[in-house]
Amino acid sequence: MVVPPSPEGKAECWYTEYHTADLRLSLRVERFLLTKRSKYQRIDIFDSHEMGRVLALDSKIQLTERDEFMYHEMLVHPAMLSHPDPREVLLIGGGDGGAAREILKHPVERLVHVELDEEVVKACREFLPSLACSYDDPRHELVIGEGFQFLRRQPDESFDVVIVDSTDPIGPARALFSGEFYDEVRRALRPGGVAAAQGETPFLYPDVTSGLVRVFRERFSSVRVFVSFVPSYQSGMWAFVVGSDSSLDLDRGELERRMAERRIETRFYNPDVHLGLSSLPNFLRELLGS
Amino acid sequence: MVVPPSPEGKAECWYTEYHTADLRLSLRVERFLLTKRSKYQRIDIFDSHEMGRVLALDSKIQLTERDEFMYHEMLVHPAMLSHPDPREVLLIGGGDGGAAREILKHPVERLVHVELDEEVVKACREFLPSLACSYDDPRHELVIGEGFQFLRRQPDESFDVVIVDSTDPIGPARALFSGEFYDEVRRALRPGGVAAAQGETPFLYPDVTSGLVRVFRERFSSVRVFVSFVPSYQSGMWAFVVGSDSSLDLDRGELERRMAERRIETRFYNPDVHLGLSSLPNFLRELLGS
């Protein structure tokens, strides 16, 4: 629900997102910068007083400037550092550019970035330059199209890492939570390759998280679930799933070494957090099995 | 802000809490059970559709039935398990009974529980029996009074563990974040004693968390900060601080052993989470120093 600003000086404008039918978060809006309908979804960009600039798609907050680092770093670095030498990376979704920015901190040769909605990229290049900052990097190849279709056309063993930065599993992103999609992800990975995806809130939508974890476990011999903090997202508690047929049991020293070698600088992620946030509380162990 | 239910069948009733002036969380209300003003504060208890029964004091949610275990277990068990043999425990605040319930899972001889507001205890005994479940336990000694005043009258070295379950540092709980208060806490602890407190949200109010951590560091040789998840609290990211003059560096095996010996059962806490959630992300390392 997007309320247009009132012309009176005293009125307040709040952006209210329904996390469930019975729970909602509201951000006070300073000004709307963009409201448009693309072929796929409604795109809103506004400045909020508390969380900085905000991108919302179909009335769901995708990111706020203030906490997007907490999301993008945990989506990208556990996966990228779990691979000893990620040269070719596929990113599906994440048209805002935040995940691409984090991936390109690693010395990759090529990032193929498949985003469905060109209008999201355009909007973020204009209004969110701190995220959409790598589209001019020659390593960054943007492909506008459907992730699932793109993957089907890829030869086997094309990528070292595949990262899925999808919206919620309603509307266009639904297919990105399916087993058929991850069959293709697995096929496109080179031996020892690593796949990662955002896994939604295990607190409010436990079935979505556990469903995705099951899809990963059925396809990869090693799976890690990280549960981290994203204050602007539903419940603030967010899952990230990483899978590989190589072992994901890296110790602190190895993670430190890889991070230092690649000269990765972060505001949230560090090797202790990598290990710490994959220690799950009991109710999530029960939900996800071990 | 508490909106009374509308008499019309079609209206909705939402409880809206301001996390800051510009960010707010709303829960849809099923029915109000209690709204009263005590000598110290306004007390509201209502049933929400999403989070179960809710206690709010002065328009701040203190707990919801659905996620209170995430708060109370992380407030209590890291501290209690850091002590090899906690026999006499002092709890300040927490009139709802949730922290007392967790403390009494340990084989303590005596829990002295100092709560300012008798009306909170009465309301929770009536409406939140899953929290206020240990007031009839003979080990549980309830003292109605001010925590700071109570501590001042205690002899030196009276307790093995002191746990502070305060409201936000505005209004009656302000003093419970001061150095003078923790001077008294320290004095009341036996050698090797452990103190713990909730440390607010380091995301939205970093100065409050860092101020409390400083107070602890100036008084205890060993201090640990845990940052955990409480979805119904501001930002969902919540700090807990533990201090002692004994080492708090327990390994997983020792925590496991103590937990098994004391037959502690939990829904959130486990020794991996104990170690994992004391690994802080970079922006909190910077905020809190190391």
Chain-centroid distance of CA A78 in Å reads 12
The verdict on whether A165 is a catalytic residue reads: yes
Minimum distance, in Å, between the CA of residue B181 and any CA atom of chain A: 31
Decide if pLDDT at B184 tops 50: yes
The domain spans of chain B are 14-64, 68-288
- pLDDT category of residue A6 using cuts at 50, 70 and 90: low
- Give residue B172's pLDDT: 74
Superfamily, domain B14-64:
Spermidine synthase, tetramerisation domain (2.30.140.10)
Q: List pLDDT tens digits, range B3-53.
A: 555 555 678 899 999 999 999 999 999 999 999 999 999 999 999 999 999
Kindly determine whether residue B23 and residue A281, on different chains, have CB atoms separated by under 8 Å: no
- Give residue B1's pLDDT: 43
Which residues of chain B lie closer than 8 angstroms to A204, CB-CB?
231
User: Do B117 and B40 form a contact (C-beta atoms < 8 A)?
Assistant: yes
Domain B68-288 classified CATH 3.40.50.150?
Answer: yes
CB within 8 Å of A203: residues ≥ 6 apart? A234, A235, A237, B67, B229, B231
- pLDDT category of residue A173 using cuts at 50, 70 and 90: confident
Q: How many Å apart are CA A61 and CA A232, to the nearest integer?
A: 7
Minimum distance, in Å, between the CA of residue A181 and any CA atom of chain B: 31
Point out the residue among A14, A236, A277 whose CB comes nearest to the CB of B236.
A236
Share of chain B above pLDDT 70, in %: 97
- DSSP-assigned beta bridge partners for residue A161: A89, A194
- Give residue A1's pLDDT: 43
Kindly determine whether residue B235 and residue A236, on different chains, have CB atoms separated by under 8 Å: yes
Minimum distance, in Å, between the CA of residue B272 and any CA atom of chain A: 6
| Nearest C-alpha neighbor of B195 from the set B168, B170, B218, B227 | B218
Decide if pLDDT at A204 tops 60: yes
